[in-house]
Every structure is written in structure tokens, then in C-alpha cells.
Amino acid sequence: MNSLLLRGGRVIDPCHPGSGDTRDVVVRDGVIAAPQPGERHDETVDATGCVVMAGGIDLHTHIGGGKVNLARLLMAEDHRDGANPYPLPSNPLELASCGTCAPGTLATGYRYVEMGYTAAFEPAMVPSNARHAHMEMGDVPVLDHGAYVMLGSDELFLQLLAEGGPNLRNFSLIRDYTAWTIHASKAMGVKVVNPAGISAFKFNQRKLDVDEQHVRWQVTPRQVVHTLARALRELGVPHPLHIHGSNLGVAGNIQSTLETIAALEGLPAHLTHIQFHAYGTEGPKKFSSAALQLAEAVNAHPEISIDVGQIMFGQTVTASGDTMRQYAQSGLANPRKWVGADIEAMAGCGVVPFRYREQSYVNALQWVIGLEIFLSVKNPWQVVLTTDHPNGGPFTSYPHLIRLLMDRSFRDEQLAKLHPDVAANCALKSMTRELTLEEIAVMTRAGPARLLGLKDRGHLGEGAAADIAVYREDADREAMFRTPEHVFKDGIPVARAGRVIATPVGGTHFIEPGYDTAVEKTLRRHWAAHGSVNFDHVAIGKDELCRCCNGGRLLPTECFEGSGS
Ligand SMILES: [Zn+2]
Ligand SMILES: [Zn+2]
């Protein structure tokens, strides 16, 4: 198809003036174009009574790489319906694939697309496992994808940081190592997980506070976070450091979270699954909401963005690079089983099944904390809607979450079902804010696109990729966002009324920051001594990336002018 007219929809496009107006949207050759008088279109879609938005972008969802696959292996019950295997799909276009909290790659693509999402980003790619991560994401149909590579608990980084001394005289070497790792793994950004903590766990430390020293390297999480954030800034990487902070899930961890923000000294950063990092120690159970404290900090720091990691009640599986914290939580596994792993001493991972219960005080409070964060951060551009799939709950619960945020009476009804002490005492019960369609569009597409530096995604301006979701207006926002009427990927109709109708291959987003190749001398030495792969084979080339990703388009994203040399 060459041209498409979407007629008469209410266009919610917060990046441009006139958002919320009823108007036509024209697509020419897969790209949004200006309407021309008298133009004839190959296809016209009637969008009256519908809301038209850019395709959804999930900036933090575990969809590829080692721990996702371990989760699938561990959660055999997620791939059976009662005692029986899931029935085969009734849609002849869909290949057999199933699962909810640990869905197969194909089911991941189908379920996202049916909800109007057109891109998803894997947040925790271990450098030594990057090929596998890209192959799995390449196997996910339709969605564009990319990944953040994990740094900050790898032995070489910690060694370089320790060797740099108090003035970090080898900073440029660390910066080049960061750039090289992005280049070699074809990443879209860098994620630090429990800074230095995954490594500290291997040296038998069971916790690591922001100013506590790693016993082997004598460096602190504060130094790790600041150094990585500075490196990305100087390299001109559009997505700022993606931080999974210290002490995930620990009562009182709001302290670590505020200290982490302070450690950044004004450098931009994205704090991920922040719900798991916003806990106080008040009340009878010494576990309380610190959502308001967190929101106050985010409101005071416009350079900080967050995604929430909302929990949803029911069965899920947590899959995290944070071996230290997953080990600590493994006693709560439901069903009782877990697995941890590492490759090449570069990071780690722990997979722990979890069932969030409405009548559990802690789980009810976690649910409340997530919603309180959504409703008390003032600027929607600083908040991204996530459940940290599958850690807080599967991504298929997004429509339900959207309704909770947009519909106060529905939220209050749900709140009343929770553990009575939580329902009676939380700040949430007096929060009246209901998010608007405009704010939802920011949190689910425009905001993530901007935070990732994707200039032609997340909006419907001229020249943007024609990734579009058309939702029929419905007072029941869950029903509305569950089943969009039409979904287009690069102008191709890919879903209609909740059914996949085409499965084009998605593209791969990555960045290419510049660096001094002299760093490769250090790396070659390190690999020769410690690696199991010949250094010459470590980096993924562009042709290989394309093959890994099922022949999908390569979508390099421009870095901005870095402040470094
Ligand atoms: Zn994480
Ligand atoms: Zn995560």
C-alpha cells in the first residue's frame, strides 16, 4: 500500500499543538505525511468515534535474553492451561506460542500488537549474552526492539574504577570501555543493576548500601552510578543511565533511592521500576509507602525520569539481573523454585516465581505505592507506564492499569478489596486525580520515545513512522485499551479488532557512540586472561545483527553532541 487516510478520529498527539482535535491523518509509504487537497488514497479507514495515537512504546520489558528464557523453562505451568496444554491459536496467521508471565517470543509480539504497542525495549542485556538477546527479540514479530546493556557489576569496570583512584584519572578509559560495550553488544543504552552489588554478592556480601564499599574493589555504588552517568553524558547517549538502584524491595530503601539521586549531582538518569525502591519503615509492619517522598524528589529534579513497575495481583515470575536481591527473595518463591546464573562474571540473574495477593499487607501496599507514584508526580513526561514485565505483572495487564489511573471510582472499588489496614490508611484513598488521555499518551508513547532519543516515533507529526493505534472511545478505559480497532506498523495494518492480521519483521534500535579504539588494547588483554571467547569474535557486526534479528531493518539512533573529547 502506498497511501492511507485515517478519517475523522480524535488525534491525541501531545508532541504537537492541536492535540485532542478531530482531524484526518495521512500515511504515505509508511510515514506520516501532510494531507494534500484532492489526493486519492489506496485505502481509507473511518476513525470517527475513535481516538488515534502513535503506537505504544514499552521502554522496560523483559522480552529477550538469558533470564527470560530461564523464566520460560522454570514456569512450565505458565505454558499449560490447567492440566492441558494451551489450545493452538485459532488465527491461521499465528504460530503456536503461549504463556502469560513468561510468554514465548511469538506470543509476546502478538499480545503487544493486539494492544496497540509497536515497540519494546529489553532492559537487562548481559554483554556476553547479547547475541542471544538480539536473536530472541528478532524472533518477536512486528515490534521494533532494542536493549540496554548491563554495566557496573562487571569485573573490568570495577577494576578500572578502583585503579582510577579518588580523582578517577583513568576516566577516559572507562568512558571508552562504556562506548565499546555499547558498540560490541549493539545496545540502545546502559543499565546499571544494584550498582557493584551483583559483584559484591559473589564476594559474599548480602547487601550493599550507596556508600558501602565492595569488599574486593573498595568502590561504592555512589561512585559506580556517577561514573556511568557521566560517561553516557560525555558520549552523547540519548537515553540517560537506566538505574535499578541499591536495596531493591527492602523496607526503608527510599533512603538509598534519594542517595542515588544525590549521587548523580544533576546528571540526567532514568530510575527504573521505582515502585520497588520507594519503601519506608513506618507503621505496625515496619513497611510503609514512601511514594510521596519519592514524588517530591522527582518533582524537584526535572533531569530525572522514572518508570513505575506497578504490581498486579496474580501469578507472575520475577526475572532480574540482581542476583543479590533475588537470592534474598528466593524464600518467598511461589511456586517454590528459583534459579540464578551468570556468564563470564559480567553480571548475574535470578528468576523467582511470585504470586501477588490482595490480602497480603505487603503486596497490597506495593500496589498502592505504584499508583500513588503515578498520581503524585506532576509532570507526565517524567513517568513511564510499566509493570516491569513480568516482575510486577505481565504487560497484558496494561489496559487494567490504565483504567485504574483514569477512573477514580474503579480505583476505589479495587482498593476496597485489599488488606483492610492498607485500604484504610493509605494516601491513595484520598487522591482524586484521574489521568487524561493526553497524559496516558505521554506515559505510553511520547515520553518513552523522547527518553530514548527516537525522534520519529511516539508522535504523529509529518515524517514520523506510521506506527498508529486507533482505539474506539469507551468510558470503560480497560476495554478501550484492550482491543484497539486498528493497529498500523510503518503504515501496514497489523491488527484489527484485537486480531493480528499481518506479521512483518520489526526493526532493531541501537546507538553508535564514538570512542578511542586504543581501549581495545586493555580489553584484548582482559579477554585473553579471563574470557572464554576470542576477543576478535566478541563484537556483533551490523550484518550479523541483521541476521540475528530475522532480517529486520537496522535503526541506528543518533547520539547528540557529547561534552567529551
Ligand atoms: Zn531491574
Ligand atoms: Zn526490569
**What is the CA(84)–ligand 1 centre distance, in A?**
33
- CA 499 – CA 497 distance, rounded (Å): 6
Strand pairing report for 269-271 and 241-244: parallel
Three cell numbers at 36? 494534500
Average pLDDT, integer, range 254-281: 98
- CA 41 – CA 24 distance, rounded (Å): 12
Question: Between 501 and 84, where is the model more confident?
Answer: 501
Average pLDDT, integer, range 526-530: 94
Nearest partner of 465 among 93, 31, 9, 23, judged by Cα: 31
Average predicted confidence (pLDDT) for the chain? 96
Q: What pLDDT band is residue 81 in, cutting at 50, 70 and 90? A: confident
**What is the CA(122)–ligand 2 centre distance, in A?**
8
Residue 411 inside a domain? The answer is yes
Q: Is the pLDDT of residue 565 over 50?
A: no
What CATH number should be reported for the domain holding residue 400?
Answer: 3.20.20.140
pLDDT in tens, 31-53: 999 999 889 999 999 999 999 99
Nearest partner of 509 among 457, 441, 436, 563, judged by Cα: 457
Q: Is the pLDDT of residue 416 over 60?
A: yes
**What is the CA(22)–ligand 2 centre distance, in A?**
37
Beta-sheet strands, E only, within 207-272: 241-244, 269-271
**What is the CA(61)–ligand 2 centre distance, in A?**
6
Residue 138 inside a domain? The answer is yes
- CA 275 – CA 368 distance, rounded (Å): 9
Residue 555 inside a domain? The answer is no
503 C-beta neighbours (distance < 10 Å), count: 19
Residue 524 inside a domain? The answer is no
462 C-beta neighbours (distance < 10 Å), count: 13
Q: Is the pLDDT of residue 209 over 80?
A: yes
**Ligand lying closest to the C-alpha of residue 389:** 2
**What is the CA(244)–ligand 1 centre distance, in A?**
5
**Ligand lying closest to the C-alpha of residue 388:** 2
**What is the CA(383)–ligand 1 centre distance, in A?**
16
**What is the CA(513)–ligand 1 centre distance, in A?**
24
| CB neighbour list of residue 523: distance below 8 Å, 6 or more residues apart | 156, 177, 180, 535
**Ligand lying closest to the C-alpha of residue 242:** 1
Residue 308 inside a domain? The answer is yes
CA distances from 98 to 76, 94, 102, 109, 556 (A): 11, 11, 9, 11, 31
**What is the CA(332)–ligand 1 centre distance, in A?**
18
Residue 243 inside a domain? The answer is yes
Least confident of 6-15, 89-98, 141-150, 259-268: 89-98
Residue 487: beta bridge partners?
469, 495
* Global pTM value: 0.98
Containing domain of residue 348, as a range? Answer: 57-98+106-451
Residue 405 inside a domain? The answer is yes
Residue 251 inside a domain? The answer is yes
**What is the CA(172)–ligand 2 centre distance, in A?**
29
- CA 122 – CA 316 distance, rounded (Å): 18
**Ligand lying closest to the C-alpha of residue 323:** 1
Percent of the chain with pLDDT over 90: 94
Phi, psi of 252 (to 5 degrees): 90, 5
Average pLDDT, integer, range 452-468: 98
- CA 82 – CA 85 distance, rounded (Å): 8
Instruction: Give the distance, in angstroms, between the CA of residue 97 and the centroid of all CA atoms in the same chain.
Output: 22
**What is the CA(59)–ligand 2 centre distance, in A?**
10
**What is the CA(193)–ligand 2 centre distance, in A?**
9
Q: Is the pLDDT of residue 83 over 90?
A: no
**What is the CA(204)–ligand 2 centre distance, in A?**
24
- Look at the chain and report how many structural domains it folds into: 1
**What is the CA(322)–ligand 2 centre distance, in A?**
10
pLDDT in tens, 326-379: 999 999 999 999 999 998 888 999 999 999 999 999 999 999 999 999 999 999
